[in-house]
Amino acid sequence: MNIKNNGCRGVFSSTIAGGKFIDGFRQGVIVSGLNHIAHGIYFTKTLLERFTKGKLDPFAKPKFTQEGIVEMHENVEGLKKAFEMGGKPKIAFNEPTYYASTVSGLVKLTPSKLDTNYKLAAILFHEYRHAFQYFAPYFNKKHYNSRYDYWLEKYGPGFFFEGEMHGKLWDSMEYDAYSYQLNIGDNEPYVIDRVNKYTKIFKK
């Protein structure tokens, strides 16, 4: 995972690791020591089950066009809603060194690193959650313009070191986004590992 600062609101990126599917969400969670998450999530479908059968092959190469993104929205259950909740961010295709990045109102994708519709859907759910963090008003004892603003006030901006942003502002955003991925049924090992990582950070 790389996180880079864009000066105003920051850019954070997501890295998808390889690996086999975990057979059963709860089993994978328990193996990773995340029993509290298994009890706290109303789990109904895996990410794979969200694909409309016969219309979008999860393991086919994605179409990196605006029309291709619309097709993803229409054929992966919940993805269009996530896009709308994130304020309908613009989608751009470029070649940074990481898989994807999000700033307020803009999601950037790296086509060369996203070789299946399944990986693209996973990244879009994650990045749309980041867009939501920047976009949606938030209330915690007082009103904030967004979760980003709340975490910024609570933890400060963090610091930039060796090409990455560090600090609990960024940890909060990633913990929330990976938890969201887990919640929508993305039970890949790297997602569970990331949730476990950030859970430990906030238990310190």
Q: What is the pLDDT of residues 135-190, one digit of tens each?
A: 999 998 899 999 999 999 999 987 766 666 678 999 999 999 999 999 999 999 99
Closest CA to 116 of 45, 57, 181: 57
What confidence score (pLDDT) does residue 203 get? 81
- Interstrand relation of 159-161 and 143-144 (parallel, antiparallel or unpaired): unpaired
Evaluate if pTM is beyond 0.85: no
What confidence score (pLDDT) does residue 202 get? 85
Express each pLDDT in 55-104 by its tens digit: 999 999 999 999 999 999 999 999 999 999 999 999 999 876 688 989 88
Three-state secondary structure call for residue 21 = coil
Quote the tokens at residue 106. Answer: 């803009």
- Interstrand relation of 100-103 and 106-109 (parallel, antiparallel or unpaired): antiparallel
DSSP 8-state assignment for residue 62: P
What distance in Å separates the CA atoms of residue 189 and residue 22, rounded to the nearest whole number? 7
Q: Is the pLDDT higher at 195 or at 161?
A: 195
